[in-house]
Amino acid sequence: MGKDDIIDGAYASQQERKYKMTFNYLLTHRELPRLYFEGLNEFYEKILPDPEMMQRFLFFAYNRCKYFAMENPSIEPAFPEEQFDMYLFGPEGRRVLIITLPKCSVPPESLQIAIPADRQKAAYYACEMSVNPMTEESCFVFGEWNAEQKHSNYGEIEMTDEHSFARMALEIAYGNDEEAGR
């Protein structure tokens, strides 16, 4: 499924929304940032270095959200359980972990999240589906959640290829560098 497929379906889906919160939003905007920031040291020491532990961390968050959604009819039911696609992006010493979500269909759901691999740069970034207020066209924006559950928006991401969000996360986490993303 490409970016255009996601965006084309997003606007129609937005009109048909019957839940106050989507499962994707609960997972990527509430539970994952909370768990990440509450256990930063453990995350960087034990979870991030081990892909199997990272999958376990994601499924732990997924299952917490799944059961919470089952108890709250105003929250969309969980999307089908599957492996989360993950990869490290950037040169050694300046990497971000990119996690792609299995489902992103309406604003403000997240298509991807990014976490700097360096503990000193700890941050939680999200590639969020949105709607441009000027053109009313679907787009993606760069968001960040902090330890206090406060959200910042860095603006629209020009989605020129599959690594557009990863490059922007790398630049925000580590600064602008000609070597970023190579």
Task: Give the range among 14-18, 49-53, 136-140 with minimum mean pLDDT.
Answer: 14-18
Whether 62 is covered by a domain: the verdict is yes
Domain of residue 82 covers 3-174
Interval 55-79: pLDDT, tens: 999 999 999 999 999 999 999 998 8
- The confidence score (pLDDT) of residue 177 equals 57
- How many domains does the chain fold into? 1
Whether 92 is covered by a domain: the verdict is yes
Whether 164 is covered by a domain: the verdict is yes
Whether 182 is covered by a domain: the verdict is no
99 near 113, Cβ under 8 Å?
A: yes
Whether 181 is covered by a domain: the verdict is no
Q: Looking at the predicted structure, is the pLDDT value of residue 39 above 90? A: yes
Phi, psi of 18 (to 5 degrees): -120, 0
How far is it, in rounded angstroms, from Cα 165 to Cα 142?
A: 8
96 near 117, Cβ under 8 Å?
A: yes
How far is it, in rounded angstroms, from Cα 12 to Cα 24?
A: 17
Q: What average pLDDT does the chain have?
A: 86
Whether 179 is covered by a domain: the verdict is no
Whether 130 is covered by a domain: the verdict is yes
How far is it, in rounded angstroms, from Cα 14 to Cα 107?
A: 7
Dihedral of alpha carbons 28, 32, 37, 42, sign: negative
Whether 180 is covered by a domain: the verdict is no
Beta bridge partners of 144: 125, 152
Q: Looking at the predicted structure, is the pLDDT value of residue 54 above 90? A: yes
- The confidence score (pLDDT) of residue 81 equals 78
| Region 109-135 average pLDDT | 93
pTM of the model: 0.84
Choose between 14 and 41: higher pLDDT: 41
